[in-house]
Amino acid sequence: MTPCFMIAVTGGSGSGKTTLARALYARLGAETCQLVTEDHYYFGRAHYGPAALAMSHGELERTFNFDDPVNKDMANLRRDIEALRCGESVEQPVYEFAKHDRVPGVTKRVEARPVVIIEGIHVLSDPSFAKLFDLTVFVDAPADLRLIRRIRRDEAERGRSAESVIQQYLRFVRAAQARFIDPARYICDIVVSCEVASPDVDAPPDADSIDRLVAPVWTQLQKLGVATSG
């Protein structure tokens, strides 16, 4: 198998890392690039025992710190990164945030591509993961913007109230950012800033903002011969 060029994109929740990863994927194209989201590696409810199966969303979020990597199957993620790096396909678990659970018995086949992007808040929380990647990127954003983006996302995509998001942020997210996520910025090859937040909740990031976010990473990919100048 032909080795793949591996890119890690990390940063705090709401930092803009997903926006960057998707923009890179779109520019490189589906024939060249594969995008893997770390969030699918959260453990299912059964991992926590019978009591968790009956918990409401609110109870789960108050009980378990989902911003701590202990709640993801990082060993499985590592195996899949290693396989993709070698050009092998993997069977990725499928996690549904609306149910706070994995889809039982369902996996998604992920084929290797010449470039593979792994995106997530914990992908570099264990510094030993860094050796699995050819390029590591940390996406930074002010804490207020990260919280605003998280509220908007969780209300729109996960059916949560703003108050529940704020409570979870104060209980778990803020401390987890400092403990598990921020240290990665000091080992990453590139640190980029994503400080755009539209006053209109329904407005997507504008093209110029995405261009500025992608530019430093694209320049490095060009230097490494991974991206073309065209």
Give the neighbor-by-neighbor strand order of the sheet with 115-119: 33-37, 115-119, 5-11, 135-140, 190-193
Q: What is the mean pLDDT of the chain?
A: 91
Give the per-residue pLDDT at 155: 82
CATH number at residue 158: 3.40.50.300
Domain hosting residue 79, numbered range:
5-214
What is the per-residue pLDDT for 209? 85
The answer to whether residue 134 is domain-embedded is: yes
Is residue 229 situated within a structural domain? no
Across the range 200-226, mean pLDDT stands at 85
Give a yes or no: residue 230 inside a domain: no
In a domain, residue 227? The reply is no
Per-residue burial over 53-78, b if 16 or more Cβ lie within 10 Å, else e, is eebeeeeebeebbbbebebbbbebbb
d(CA 180, CA 153): 21
Who contacts 140 (Cβ-Cβ below 8 Å, separation ≥6)? 11, 15, 185, 191, 192, 193, 194
Q: Is the pLDDT of residue 20 over 70?
A: yes
Whether 224 is covered by a domain: the verdict is: no
Domain-located, residue 228: no
| Chain centre distance of CA 145 | 17
Tell me how many domains the chain contains. 1
Q: Decide the pairing of beta strands 190-193 and 135-140.
A: parallel
Q: Please state the rounded mean pLDDT for residues 70-93.
A: 97
Q: What is the pLDDT of residues 113-150, one digit of tens each?
A: 999 999 999 999 999 999 999 999 999 988 888 888 88
Displacement of CA 107 from its chain's centroid (Å): 18
User: Whole-model pTM?
Assistant: 0.92
Q: What is the mean pLDDT of residues 76-92?
A: 97
Is position 167 within any domain?
Answer: yes
Q: For residue range 96-117, list pLDDT tens digits in order.
A: 988 889 999 999 999 999 999 9
